[in-house]
Each structure stands twice: as C-alpha cells, then as structure tokens.
Amino acid sequence: MPSGTFKDQARAVGPAGSRLVTGILSRSGPFSRLGLPLLRGTLSTRDSDLTAAARDFGNRIHLRPVAVLHPADAEDVATIVRFGRENGFAVVPRGAACSVDGQAQTSDGIVVDLSSLSAVGEPAPSLVRVDGGARWRAVLEATLPCGRVPLVVPDHLGLSVGGTLSVGGIGGTSHRYGSVADNVLELEVVTASGDLLTCSPVRRPELFDAVRGSLGRYGIITGATLALTGARSSARTYRLVYHDCAAFLADQQRLVHERRFEHVEGHAHRSGTSGWLFVLEAMQSFDTPHEPDDTALLEGLTHHHVDTIETVSYRDFLGRVAPLEARQRALGSWQHHPHPRCNVLLPGLEAEALITRTLAGLTEEDIGPGGSVLLYPIPTARLAAPHVPKARDALTVVFGLQRTAPPDQPELLDRMVRDNLALRAAARKAGGADYAYAATHCEAPDAYESFGRTPQSR
C-alpha cells in the first residue's frame, strides 16, 4: 500500500467541507474497489502512523493496522465504524496507548487515534464536559484553577478519559467514591452500528451501563461529562512502614471503613534478604490554616514506623507520578522496555493469603527496574457500574504487579507473562477478577457487535 494519508492523496471536497477519500489508495491495497467515506479528519497510511499504532505501553504485542484515523470530530468516528462494518475491517479505538496486552491494536484493521479529540470544556461547579481522548492532566489543568476536581483521578495523569472509563478507572479515592465510571454523568458513544448517541442514567441507561468498564465491547467513548467536587489547596501525605502484610492490610481496611483520609493506597517493596516491606500511603487535603491533626489521623494504627509526613500543594500531589515517569523516560525504559503488568482484584477474605504466597515467590528481578507492587482496598459496594470488575466479597483489594522487563532478556519476559497468567487464574478461582487486561488480540477482530448482542472482545 502506498505511504501517505488519504487526506493528502485526495482533495475532492464533499458536503459541509468533508473530504472525499479517493485517489490512489482507492485503486490498490486493501481499500481497492471500495467507496471510501467522507471525513473531516485524516485517514492515514503513513508508515510512521501504522508503526506507532502497532505499539502500546506493554511493548510486547505488535499488531499492524492498515490505516489510522485521526478524527476531526465524533462524526468521523461514527463514519469509519460504519465503513469498517460494511467492508469487514475491524475498528479499534486508541487513547493514550497505556494498555499492555495489545487491547488498542488490530491486525489489518483500522485504529481510531482519539488523541485528536482532546478538548476540555469550561468547568461548571459540579461538572465538566471533555472529549474521550482528553488526558487527565488536561482535565486537571482546567478544573483546579476553578477550585474543582473529579471525585476519582487515576494515578497516571497521561491516561485518556475515554480509555479510563472503558476499564472502569480506580484510584486512591475509590474507597469513598467508587470507580471513575461511577462518577460520570453522561457519555457520548459511537455504537457498533456507527450511531453517535448520548447516554446517561436516565437517557438510554442500558447503553450507559453497558459501555462503562466493558473494554470497548459496546462502543467507542468520544465524550464524557464528569462530576466534580471541591479541591483544597494543600495535601498532607503520610507514609507508614509495616513489616507484616496482615497488619498492613488490616490498617488499610480500618482507614477505609472509618473514612479518616481522602486518599488511601499502598505499596510493597523488597528489602534486601529480609523480605518485603509494606508502605501505607494516605492523604488528607486542607486549606490553611486548618491543618490536619496528625495524632488523631494516625491513632491506633500498628505501623512499624513513620517514613514521612509531608505537605505539598494539592496539584503536586495529583501529579506525583510525573517525576517517576520523567526518570523512566530519561532512561528510555518507559518508551522502549516491555511492561508485562498484571492487576487483579482480590476478595478481601482471600487477599492476605494470595498476596503473601505471590510475594514469597518474587525477586527484585521478577518486578524489574522501576517496577512496583500496588496494594489497596475498596469496599465492593462502591464499585456500582455493572461491568466494572470487582471481587465477590464485601471488600475488593487491588493487587498490581507493575513489572518492567529488560529488553534483552526474553526468557525473563516469558516467565513474567506466565506468572501473570497464573496469578490471574488464582485470583478468579478465589472469587476475584482481572482488571483491564483482557487478552483480546487472540480473538476475532470485530470489536463492535450491535449493542444488546453478545460482543466479541476488543
């Protein structure tokens, strides 16, 4: 197929300024003899675009599409979905490409790069309307100056809003407010048939429920209206160190149920030959001079020692992952190394045993440079969106192995992948669930069966 873009190859203008995609690419390659659609954006076959679309953060799966759509608006997305459906091309959305198992890739299909749909509207006191390709960093840049913030914000602000909603979206405030998908007021969705529809709890509620947390099986999210709450100016963070997993989990659960802190997360780290250390991270925001009472907030906890108590701006707290990302990018690891990450949701009653058993078999090499282990609880009732995964227990415990594999050790990468599959199987057997890692690159390519029919995985 010739390189270039359909927009560059053809200049025939259709209705309302649309460009009729014809010319050389309609006479050769997979689009030969097809009547190509009217688009306001760009349908590209540039080698650089196809190569980029065949990669994600995982850097392990590489499926090359035949074209990449850079839509000018949601109507372009609907048009290409109809075109793909009529002509047998899989159509797959791509947000920030932070998936690790090829979920946003397709072999010989069309990738919709939603990064061109990135607008963030003017925030109102209780809501903000954003495009599906908008990054969380841009959302916060718009809302924080107004003293507002979404109720749940993911740790990594480089994720797209639509991609986050398609997996559910969890964060340190999920123990209070549920997933990001539980705090969206309205969605703009392109369905399998290529219809551009608006849905909400009161308008097409079946579509609204189906789209959230279902990994794109029922449609492409091109816009969302997010609920907002007040944002204070400062954040006090507490890092508490534990030598015992049971004590760490018990204190996390206590803080979650007592609602002492706005934000509760945690990590596990190898400590030489002495095993694992567990770090409970909690945050309480405030406006000066109404500072938190440190003694009251930490009363009755069983930590071994306090690592740090630090006050930063609320903005800096929300962006706390950015320095880590910058360091990894400077090393080239973020962009080029495989990241066979695995996040599972464990039932609270089984969490300690599964976590302890898993960590006992892990070395620093099994996590990799810059990797980490993520641990925190969410009351399952908070995860109300029907398709957002959760454990079959009153408590859902997030257990994430954020692995990085050296690019020159394929045997280690293979071992990490096998271990991930074993952990996912053990979590499901115990009543837990996978989170955001459905391995869909092995499935049939048509991601968008009509709403209400049995979908094929994206």
What would the pLDDT profile of 72-88 be if each residue is shown by its tens digit? Answer: 999 999 999 999 999 99
* Per-domain residue ranges of the chain: 42-113, 127-230, 234-434
Three-class SS of residue 374? Answer: strand
Residue range 268-274: mean pLDDT, rounded:
81
Confidence at residue 429, expressed as pLDDT on a 0 to 100 scale? 96
Q: What angle do CA 42, 48, 49 make, to 5 degrees?
A: 35
- pTM of the predicted structure, to 2 decimals: 0.89
Which pLDDT band, with edges at 50, 70 and 90, does 5 fall under? very low
Which of these ranges, 15-19, 76-80, 229-233, 285-289, has the smallest mean pLDDT? 15-19
Measured distance CA(264)–CA(273) in Å, rounded: 28
Q: What is the pLDDT of residue 34?
A: 74
Integer Cα distance of 338 and 162 in angstroms = 24
pLDDT the model gives residue 426: 96
Domain 127-230, CATH number (from 3.30.465.10, 3.40.430.10, 3.20.20.80, 3.30.70.3270) = 3.30.465.10
pLDDT at 280 over 90: yes
Decide if domain 42-113 falls under CATH 3.40.640.10. no
CB neighbour burial string for 354-392, b if at least 16 within 10 angstroms, e if fewer: bbeebbeebeeebbbebbbbbbbbbbbebbebebbbbbe
Q: What pLDDT sits at residue 32?
A: 61
Q: What is the pLDDT of residue 437?
A: 66
Question: What pLDDT is stored for residue 36 in this prediction?
Answer: 81
Choose the most confident range, by mean pLDDT, from 224-228, 333-337, 432-436: 224-228
| Rounded-to-10 torsion of CA 335, 336, 338, 339 | -10
Bridge-based pairing of strands 110-113 and 91-94 is parallel
Residue type (1 letter), 117: L
Whole-number Å distance between alpha carbons of 227 and 222: 17
Q: Tokens 């990064």 — which residue?
A: 115
Question: Which parts of 124-254 are beta strand (E)?
Answer: 127-131, 148-150, 184-190, 196-199, 220-230, 234-242
Of the ranges 30-34, 175-179, 394-398, which one carries the lowest mean pLDDT score? 30-34
Q: Would you say domain 234-434 falls under CATH 1.10.10.10?
A: no
As given in the structure block, the two tokens for residue 408 are 């020159």
Q: Integer distance in angstroms from the first to the last C-alpha of the chain?
A: 25
**Fold match between 42-113 and 234-434?**
no
* 43: its two tokens: 């349908």
**Given pLDDT bands bounded at 50, 70 and 90, which one contains residue 371?**
confident
- Once rounded to an integer, what is the mean pLDDT over residues 276-294? 96
Does the structure show a pLDDT above 80 at 117?
yes
- Between 79-83, 318-322, 445-449, the lowest mean confidence (pLDDT) is in 445-449
* CA distances, 12 to each of 17, 21, 156 (Å): 10, 7, 42
pLDDT of residue 438: 56
Low-confidence winner among 27-36, 74-83, 400-409 (lowest mean pLDDT): 27-36
pLDDT band at 29 (very low <50, low <70, confident <90, very high): low
